[in-house]
Chains A and B, each alone.
Chain A
Amino acid sequence: MRFILLFASCLLAFISTALSVLPFGLIAFIPIAIGLTLSWVCYKKTLSDGKKLIFIQLIIAVFVCSSCLTLYNTFRPNTIVNADEASEIEKQNDIETLEELENLEIEN
């Protein structure tokens, strides 16, 4: 039972780390919530069995770090990058459009 809980916690720790790094928003909290619950139960079981706690403590620490990273990614302002290359392409498009529209006259 303790081994299953430990294995599940490890797996969820890996998934939550991956999702917290990706820009998928609050979706990382789903494995974090489940993982923290399972790892807390595993911690209690390990404590009662008198086994070493270091491994489960590390897993809980991973969940805490993932939570912090997810919150940071979610609440930091979204920014747009305007590359110089894109600006140059826009200027070129404007020049081409001007040449095309020069031949046209608006009829009112």
Chain B
Amino acid sequence: MNRFIIIVLGLISFVISGQNNTIAPGEKLTFTASYNMSGLLTDFAQITMETTTFKTSKSEFLRLRCKAQTYEKWNQFFAINDTYETFVNPTNLEPYIHKRQINEGGYFKKMQYNFDSKSQSVKSIKTKRRKDGTFWDEKNTFRVSEQTKDIITTLYALRNSDIHKAKIGTKDRITVLFDNKETEITIALIAIETIDTKLGMIKCYKVGVSLQNSEILNNDNDNVIWLTADKNKVPVYVKFKVPVGNGELKIQHATGLKF
């Protein structure tokens, strides 16, 4: 049975390409995040994903930034202001520095990863705030596999992948670094569908995401991303399920796309 699974997985995999052919600086995607409350979806936050150029004296990096902010009417009850960003090589989306800053209802946490591809290691710095308002750091250095990426680079790498070459049912595994742990995620091309979005009726790749390789390809899995079936592969709709409930992300605007 194990040999059969290995053969099947070996035959069917869609390649996450090393060369960046999709992501250009100046791109901005805006989403509305909704949460399911007693069967009714309520908009509570805005998610923006944008790419900009970040220049130093020696190099030009591509900054991939994802921000989540609650709408003003929610701030009195539970304000969220999270920023996830990674500075990557614009040619192949190789990450150099990843930063995550969480500010949710008074809880603050900052996480930074410095990737070293030569030694295949990551230096991490975790910053948290004590009750008295002072901060403390926790530093770690650990080895990672060659393909391990942070969550933001993974999202953009998924858009850079050769999904158009994959057949329905194709699966692939990606290793993501989150909270100092490498987590294996399985992604699968479930279907090609045309869905109604703010940008119009769009043909999309329906991609399922799973942590434990369960409930994929049954059309009812919990975490699904719809990517436009064009060269941009823009995520236009996302359904997600978290321990406290489920929700959706819907695209509102998309500007600065490469194609």
Question: Footprint of B on A, CB under 8 Å?
Answer: 22-27, 30, 73, 78-81, 86, 90, 93, 97-98, 100-102, 104-108
When distances are taken between beta carbons in the complex, the residues of chain B under 8 Å from A27 are: 37-38, 40, 42
| Chain A residues within 8 Å of B42, by CB | 23-27
Shortest beta-carbon distance from B66 to chain A in Å: 14
Are B77 and A22 within 8 A (Cβ)? yes
What are 21 pairs between A and B in contact, CB < 8 Å?
A: A23-B42, A23-B44, A25-B40, A26-B40, A26-B42, A27-B40, A78-B32, A78-B72, A80-B46, A80-B69, A80-B71, A81-B72, A86-B81, A93-B101, A98-B56, A101-B59, A102-B56, A102-B58, A106-B59, A106-B89, A106-B96
Chain A neighbourhood of B73, CB < 8 A: 23, 73, 78
B: number of interface residues (CB 8 Å):
33
B residues in contact with A97, CB < 8 Å: 54, 87, 97, 99
Question: Inside 8 A of A98's CB, which chain B residues have their CB?
Answer: 54, 56
Q: Which chain A positions have C-beta within 8 A of B186?
A: none
From A29, which residue of chain B is reached at the shortest CB distance?
Answer: B40
Across the interface, which residues of A come within 8 angstroms of B54, CB to CB?
97-98, 101
